[in-house]
Amino acid sequence: MSFESLIDHSKRYGSDASFVLLGGGNTSYKDGNVMYVKASGHALGTITAEGFVRMDLSKMEKIWSKKYSSDDEEREDEVLKDMMDCRLEGETARPSVEALLHALLPFPYVIHLHPALVNGLTCAVEGEKTVHTLFPESLWIELVKPGFILANIVRERMEKQKNESGTTSSMIFLQNHGIFVGGQSLEEIEEVYHSVMGKIESKLKRLPDFSELPVDGEKVSQINAALGSVTDENILVAWNTEFAHFLENEKSFEQIGSSFTPDHIVYAGFKPLWVAKNEDVLAAFASFEKENNVKPKVVCVQGTGVFSLGEKPMPLFFDSVSVSVYSESFGGPQFMDKPMIDFIRNWEVEKYRSTVAAK
C-alpha cells in the first residue's frame, strides 16, 4: 500500500542526519481527495501510521478564498483552526504547519527535508543565483514568514509558473529553510534527492572537518561545573577542527553566530553565546540572559570547546557549522534577518502557549 511505503521512506529519510534532524521535515501522500500528512510533534525517523493525520483536500482548497487577519498571531490562529476543520472525522492530531504546502503540490508524494547540504545553498549569499543555474526547473522562494504566508507565496509562484510555462515544478527551494520535492512515486523523489545532493556536492570547495581535538580537561570541567549551576540540563561538550576554526576569534565566530533556519532557533536557540578566552563564563551567560530574556542553549568558549545545554542543541549546532562551511562555496553564509528571527522566536512562544491551552 502506498501510505505504508510513505511511512517506510519517511523513517529512512528521518534516520539520516544528513537529511533532517530531530523533529524537522515532513512527508505526505495524496489518495484522491484525502491527504495523509505528518502531524505536529512527531519525528520522521520513528514515525508510524499514528504520526500522520488525514485531511480533506477540497476543504483545504477553500482556505485560499478566505480572508485572514493581518496580525501575525491572529492569522496563524485562524488558519490553524481552519486546518483543524479540514481533518477527516475522527482525526485528533494537529497537522504540521507545512501541510498547506504539501496540499498545494500536485503530486501524490511530497518529501520535505532540511538537509545541511541543501541549506548550504538556501543559506548562502549566492544561493538563489546558484539554484537558478544548477536547478533551472525549480522554484526559489525568498525568506518569508513560515505558515500561511509562505504557503500563499508558493501558491502564487506556482500559478505564475503554470501560466507562463504550462508546467509545475516538483522541486522548491526555500531560503533559510530547506527543500520540497514532489513526485509520482517515492522512487522518483529518491532520484531527485540523489541528483540534488550530488550536484551541490560537486560544487563544494571544502567539507566540514569534524576530526576531534584534545581538550584542556581542567578548563572544560571548570566551565562544566559553572554551567551546571545555571542549568538542570545535561551538558554536552564537543571540540574538533571545525569548531576550533570558527572559535578562533570573534570575527570567525560571526560565520556561525546567528540562526540559519527556524529549526536552529527551535532546538539550539536564536544564537550561541560567545565567550572570549579570558572572559568569565557565568558573567557572559548572565548578560546574555539579561539582554535577550532567554538563556543560551549553546555556549562557545574561544579556543576551548562548545557546550550544549541539553541533548538537542548540539546536533543542531553541528548542522549550523556544516551549513556555514558549505555556504562558503556559494558566496558565504546568509542568516535569517532580525525581523524573521524575532518572528520565529515569538511564534515558538505562541505555539507553546497553544499546546498548553489545548491540553
Nearer to Zn ion, 174 or 306 (CB): 174
Q: How does DSSP classify residue 349?
A: H
**Residue found under cell 553564509:** 333
Query: Mask: binding to Zn ion, 175-194, rule CB under 5 A, as x and -?
Result: ---x----------------
Q: Round to whole Å and give the CA distance between 277 and 134.
A: 42
Tell me the CB-side half-sphere exposure of residue 201, using CA atoms within 13 A.
8
Q: Which residue, among 309, 269, 316, 260, has the nearest Cα to 124 in the 3D structure?
A: 260
Number of residues that bind Zn ion (CB under 5 A): 1
Nearest-CB residue to Zn ion?
178
Q: Is 85:59 a contact under the CB 8 Å cutoff? A: yes
Of the two residues 152 and 302, which places its CB atom closer to Zn ion in the complex?
A: 152
Residue 181 CB, nearest distance to Zn ion (Å)? Answer: 12
Between 178 and 296, name the residue whose CB sits nearer to Zn ion: 178
CB of 311 to Zn ion, least distance (A): 21
Q: Which of 216, 207, 231 is nearest to 298 (CA)?
A: 231
Q: Are strands 139-141 and 273-275 parallel, antiparallel or unpaired?
A: unpaired
Residue 142 C-beta: closest distance to Zn ion, Å: 15
C-alpha distance from residue 173 to each of 127, 137, 196, 268 (Å)? 10, 11, 11, 23
Segment near Zn ion (CB under 5 A), from 172-180, 221-229, 243-251, 299-307?
172-180
| Minimum separation from the CB atom of position 98 to Zn ion (A) | 5
Q: How far is the CB of 114 from Zn ion (least distance, A)?
A: 6
Which segment (85-93, 171-179, 207-215, 244-252) binds Zn ion by CB under 5 A?
Answer: 171-179
Give phi and psi for 143, each to the nearest 5.
-65, 115
Burial class (CB in 10 A: 0-12, 13-18, 19+), 356: exposed
Find the shortest distance in angstroms from Cβ 174 to Zn ion.
Answer: 7
Q: Which is nearer to Zn ion, 95 or 178 (CB)?
A: 178
The pattern of x and - marking residues 266 through 305 that bind Zn ion according to CB under 5 A reads ----------------------------------------
Q: Where along the sequence are the contacts to Zn ion (CB under 5 A)?
A: 178
